[in-house]
Structure 1
C-alpha cells in the first residue's frame, strides 16, 4: 500500500512538472532555431562576393548582429520587430557565443508592408556594444549608423559610411543592400539568453567571455562567421 502511494505521489509530481519542463524545452528550441536561421542568413548573404559585406570590413569589425525575418508589418507607416543574435570579438580575437537581442521601432521607408526582411548590423568598436548591454539602445541617437557598402572592396564607401560607428544592411526578396535604420531600438533579450544557455541569470558578459556552455548551433554560427571574418 505504501509503495503504491509513493508511486502515485511521484506520478502526480511528474504531471505537475511536465508542463514546466516542456515549456523550457520549447523556448530553448525556439532560440536554437533563431541561431540556425541567423547562420543561414549569413551564409546566403556572403555566398555572392559582388553583393556581400566586404570581407575586409567584416574582418576588422568588433561585433555583428544578425536579425532574421524582421517582422512583416506596416513598414510604410512605421513599426517593425525582429529577434536575432549579437556576437563580438573575444579576447583571443575569435568570435564569441551569441547573445539574443531584438530590434524594434523605426521603419524601412522603401519597404512594402507585409514583407519580412533580414537585417545585419556591423559594429566597428566596443563602445556601442557596451551601451547595448546596459539597456535600450537607439540607432542614430546613441551611435551613428549608416547604410553599409557591398562588394569585394570598400573603396566605394562614402565619408558617412566611414565615419559611422555602425553599418547596417538588409535583405528582402533576395536583394541585399545597405539601408538606413535610424530610430530603430535594440534590446538584449535576457530571458532568451537564460533559456538557450540553461541558466536564468546568465549575463551577456558571461556569454561573450565563454563562461557558459553553448549548444551546438552556437558553434556552427561562430564557425560560419569565422570563415568570412577570421
Structure 2
C-alpha cells in the first residue's frame, strides 16, 4: 500500500510539473520572438541601424528584450535574453543569457529598454563561452556606432570585444554598458532543449537549431551577413 501511495505521489508531482515546464517553454519561445522582432524593427531603418561593417564582422549577437531598471540604483537593472554565434556553417542554435548590474539608468531613462550586444572578435566569442563576465572589466566594450554606412572610429576596431546598443521609445543608439555582468542562464537553456547541453556545444554549432528557434536564428543570418559569404 505504501508503495502504491508513493507511486501516486510521484505521478502527481510529474503531472503538476508538466504545466509549469510548458509555461516556462512558452516564455522562452516568446523571448525568441521578441528578440527577432527587435532586430527586424532596428534594421527597418538602415540609416539609423547597425552599420554594415559591424553586421559583416560580428562573431556573436545577444538580444535582451525589455531590460528592466529600478530607480537609478546600482544593481537594479536586470534582463533576460538570447544569444547566437557565427559558426563555419551559419549561425548557431541559441542559448539563453541574463544581464544584470550597472549604473547607466540616466542614459536610458526610466522605462524598459531593448539591448543588443555584438561580439566583434574571437576574444568576445571566448567570453561568451564562459559562465559569466563583466562588460568593461573582463571584456572591453564600446557604445556602438549607428547608421548603415557610418564611418565608425578606429577605437572599437582595435579594442572593443563587444559593441553595445540600446533602443528605448523608438530611439536606437550606442550605449555604455560598463559594469553589467552577462551570464549564462543554464536553467532556461536546459528547459528549452530538455537536457543539459554545454554552451560551448550550442554556440559552436554542435546542436541542431530547434524549429521554434529557426525564425530568430534566420533573422540574425539575414542581417548579419559575413563579407566573406
TM-score by length of structure 1 reads: 0.87
Contact 1:197 1:214 in 2 (8 A): no
2:171 aligned partner: 175
Query: Could you say if the C-alpha distance between residues 112 and 198 of structure 1 is closer, same or farther in structure 2, counting changes exceeding 3 Å?
Result: same
Contact 2:127 2:139 in 1 (8 A): no
2:207 aligned partner: 212
3-state DSSP of counterpart to 2:183? strand
1:194 aligned partner: 190
Gaps of 5+ in 2: none
Counterpart-to-counterpart distance in 2, 1:105 and 1:129: 21
Counterpart-to-counterpart distance in 2, 1:80 and 1:130: 25
Deviation at 1:144, TM superposition (A): 1.4
Tell me, yes or no, if structure 1 residue 142 matches structure 2 residue 145. Answer: no
Gaps of 5+ in 1: 1-5
2:19 aligned partner: 22
Tell me, yes or no, if structure 1 residue 224 matches structure 2 residue 219. Answer: yes
1:81 aligned partner: 78
TM-score by length of structure 2 reads: 0.88
Contact 2:73 2:103 in 1 (8 A): yes
Q: 1:65-80 alignment to 2 at 5 Å?
A: 65-74=62-71, 76-78=72-74, 79-80=76-77
Counterpart-to-counterpart distance in 1, 2:188 and 2:127: 19
Contact 1:39 1:224 in 2 (8 A): yes
Count, aligned residues? 219
Taking only aligned residues, the RMSD between alpha carbons, in angstroms, comes to 2.0
Contact 2:82 2:96 in 1 (8 A): yes
Deviation at 1:10, TM superposition (A): 8.5
- Of 150, 154, 160, which residue of structure 2 is paired with 1:154? 150
